[in-house]
Structure 1
Amino acid sequence: MAQDFSWGVVATVREPADLVLAFAAHHLGLGAAEVTLFFDDPEDPGAALLEQVPGCTVHRCGEDYWQGTRRRERPALQSQRQMLNATWTYNRTSVDWLLHIDADEFLHLPTPLGEELEALRPGDGWLKIRNFERVWRPGTQGDTIFDGVFRKPVKDADDDLARIYGSKARFLWNGFAGHPIGKALSATGRDFRINTHSPRAGRGTENHLPPYRTARHAALLHFDGLTPLHWAAKTLRYAEQGDAAIDALLHPQRQAQVRHVRDACPDLRAILDFHGDLFHLSEQEDLALSLIGALSSAKIDPEAEIARLLPGHRPRFETRHFDEMLGPENAARLMTRVPGASR
């Protein structure tokens, strides 16, 4: 199988162009036969850039796409748009395996992907790929959006979680501020519907989770907020949506984070301090995670692959530059928490 399969990646994106470019280049460099990108904002300037990348297919998700190509109204929830786009791609792709992830998730392959697929049983329809979460070690900040290390899950049922994180544990699911569920590399041609974290097979009362195995070595490196300001903007966006949406869209620990930002953080400085509590390890946390083997030093360095794919483009991954590219909507959202700023 190691020599006789193809795989691709699909994502619905709404991020600065150089991040999406890094995402595409990284996966093409790992051997993906195709990267399919749905730009949630049809006017996103990143779409034109990514159209120049060999191996990328770009869809601009405006009215022509939703009402023309898809013949339906644009779903209100981003998660619904993501799943519909992924399933639509799944039903049309020519690759053997399709990975549905977000633009802040990067596949890490310490061993060849073919070895993971060879370990699947004949009836397995997908490979579950666990995720690690980017954090910063004590005394480090990170000059680029890809700096840092990655923590691995610590089960909620273990005493280790409370022992390591103390009162912060209530904001962490299996030790993660984001999700610890992983994502799916799905075999194509199976009549699956592709959801956020797994495929589903069957319809109606026959709807079920297809058999799978968890990857032994492959992982997703999740940058849950490429910068502190990026995380703050995402969290404020959820806070704007009201309690019903927060409960429907987010897991309980993330709900607690969003409500803490909404109700207990009076200004942007307080939000960034809270981000630091969640993602900047203390000396004790760093030592504890190291002792139980729950830190990974995996790295993302997409610049060489970008240079090969787009020789004339010079990406910028400095933290400050990324913050400047977050766009007017995010800037306006962040400014609501800056005391004295004009609205």
Structure 2
Amino acid sequence: MTRWGVVATIKAPAKDIVAFVAYHLDLGADHIFIYLDNENPKAQAALANHPRVTTTRTNQAYWYSLGIKKPVRHQSRQTANASHAYRASTARLDWIAHIDVDEFLCPKRPVGALLSDIPKNVVCARVRPAEALANEGLPGLDPKTTYCKAWMPGGNSRMELEKELYPTFGGFLRGGFVSHFVGKIFIRTGLPNLEFRIHRGMQNKQEIEPRMTLDDIDLCHCHITGWDAWQKIIDYRMTKGSYRSELKPTRKPELGGMSLHDLFSFLLADGGEETLKAFYEEICLARPELIEKLRKNGVLREFQLDADAKKRKHFPGFS
């Protein structure tokens, strides 16, 4: 059986870290590498004795052991840690994926079986994202279900569908996605000079190939969980995270695209919090009419993550 695992660099509450690990253990991950980006003794203690988890606190001693200065940007720390885990995984894994604490692999068949089907010469397999919608306790929704907008194929048909789904704001963003649209990757282990990036793998400064897409796995990305939670983190994302100014638009400007930084700056300048909330309600909220339109067009995904139940199963002593 093909052995697989995941690596993540995390700065989050202990309950979220343990739930992320438990979910992927329950999915069948053979090994999980967790790099704690800050002090989190509760998470470290909970994970410490699990035989399928390696937890590393990325303190000064850790960066010294790598022979590099601690990167200032968290994205650079993520890729350095993922590359470190890749080198450590060769003896125990055949494939490893680099994902985040708010991302959950959702396969139609066992992950190991899907990876086993990949031709031997293919070294990289992409998983497309499905962006979770915030439910905010709306009536008619199953509270145990995570409703997601799925990745959409390209071309004019996608732009026409965006107009139907998101008539006011959809044209600015590819697929109506606020988070990344390209997904994440599994990389076959054992490649020399391999370096992970956030969304790709590099070898001797060239992107690795051959590559393919795993159509039977969605990457459920819980990027925005609610209006209040988004308000608390949007400033950080605008300055240091996925909305920062140097990132390019997901759609070309000549087709109406704007970078997330420019879009949110414009919305806040134009109408303040009220306009930003209108964007949130159209694009990010699991409104019944949006759910029905997504379902009708085959781009609704519904996942039963049950992360808390899996946390109790795999870490019964954690509270």
Residue equivalent to 2:53: 56
**Aligned letter for 2:7?**
V
1:92 has 2:94 as partner: no
Superimposed CA distance per residue, residues 245-296 of structure 1 (whole angstroms, 9 cap, x where no aligned partner): 52248754423444246534645x7655543332114454333211111101
Residue equivalent to 2:303: 298
Residue equivalent to 2:43: 46
Q: Once the 2 structures are TM-superposed, how far is the Cα of residue 167 of structure 1 from its aligned partner?
A: 2.0
User: After the TM superposition, which of the residue ranges 218-227 and 113-122 deviates more from structure 2?
Assistant: 113-122
Secondary structure of residue in 2 paired with 1:246: coil
CA distance in 2, matches of 1:141, 1:228: 17
Residue equivalent to 2:164: 163
**Aligned letter for 1:313?**
F
User: After the TM superposition, which of the residue ranges 74-83 and 160-169 deviates more from structure 2?
Assistant: 160-169
For residues 236-275 of structure 1, what are the structure 2 equivalents within 5 Å?
Answer: 236-240=235-239, 245-248=244-247, 251=250, 252-260=258-266, 263-264=269-270, 266-267=272-273, 271-275=276-280
Q: Once the 2 structures are TM-superposed, how far is the Cα of residue 152 of structure 1 from its aligned partner?
A: 0.7
CA distance in 2, matches of 1:195, 1:296: 27
Secondary structure of residue in 1 paired with 2:281: helix
Say which of 197, 213, 222 aligns to 1:195.
197
Count of residues in Structure 1 that have an aligned counterpart in Structure 2: 305
User: Could you tell me whether the CA contact under 8 Å between 1:154 and 1:160 is conserved in 2?
Assistant: no
Secondary structure of residue in 2 paired with 1:200: strand
Please report the RMSD computed on the Cα atoms of aligned residues, expressed in angstroms: 2.9
CA distance in 2, matches of 1:45, 1:262: 38
CA distance in 1, matches of 2:36, 2:174: 29
TM-score of the aligned structures, taking structure 2 as reference length: 0.84
Superimposed CA distance per residue, residues 135-180 of structure 1 (whole angstroms, 9 cap, x where no aligned partner): 1469827999975311112346332112321121144222211112
**Aligned letter for 1:32?**
A
1:30 has 2:27 as partner: yes
User: After the TM superposition, which of the residue ranges 187-196 and 129-138 deviates more from structure 2?
Assistant: 129-138
Bigger fraction of residues in strand = 2
Secondary structure of residue in 2 paired with 1:216: strand
1:70 has 2:69 as partner: no
Say which of 117, 120, 138 aligns to 1:119.
117
Larger RCO, structure (CA 8 Å, separation 6 or more): 2
The change in CA–CA distance for 1:17 and 1:145 in structure 2 (over 3 A counts) is farther
Secondary structure of residue in 2 paired with 1:215: strand
For residues 310-329 of structure 1, what are the structure 2 equivalents within 5 Å?
Answer: 310-314=315-319
The change in CA–CA distance for 1:272 and 1:40 in structure 2 (over 3 A counts) is farther
CA distance in 2, matches of 1:142, 1:228: 19
User: Could you tell me whether the CA contact under 8 Å between 2:224 and 2:284 is conserved in 1?
Assistant: no
Sequence identity (%): 23
User: Could you tell me whether the CA contact under 8 Å between 1:127 and 1:185 is conserved in 2?
Assistant: yes
The change in CA–CA distance for 1:148 and 1:115 in structure 2 (over 3 A counts) is closer
Residue equivalent to 2:232: 233
User: Could you tell me whether the CA contact under 8 Å between 2:19 and 2:307 is conserved in 1?
Assistant: yes
Superimposed CA distance per residue, residues 46-83 of structure 1 (whole angstroms, 9 cap, x where no aligned partner): 333332544221111121211x2222111111111111
Superimposed CA distance per residue, residues 193-250 of structure 1 (whole angstroms, 9 cap, x where no aligned partner): 111112122x24xx133112211211111101333333223321133459x9522487
**Aligned letter for 2:227?**
P
User: After the TM superposition, which of the residue ranges 292-301 and 154-163 deviates more from structure 2?
Assistant: 154-163
**Aligned letter for 1:27?**
H
CA distance in 2, matches of 1:266, 1:217: 41
Residue equivalent to 1:287: 292
TM-score of the aligned structures, taking structure 1 as reference length: 0.79
User: Could you tell me whether the CA contact under 8 Å between 1:137 and 1:286 is conserved in 2?
Assistant: no
CA distance in 2, matches of 1:144, 1:63: 45
**Aligned letter for 1:175?**
G
User: After the TM superposition, which of the residue ranges 155-164 and 127-136 deviates more from structure 2?
Assistant: 155-164
Say which of 77, 95, 111 aligns to 1:81.
77
**Aligned letter for 1:213?**
M
User: After the TM superposition, which of the residue ranges 185-194 and 231-240 deviates more from structure 2?
Assistant: 231-240
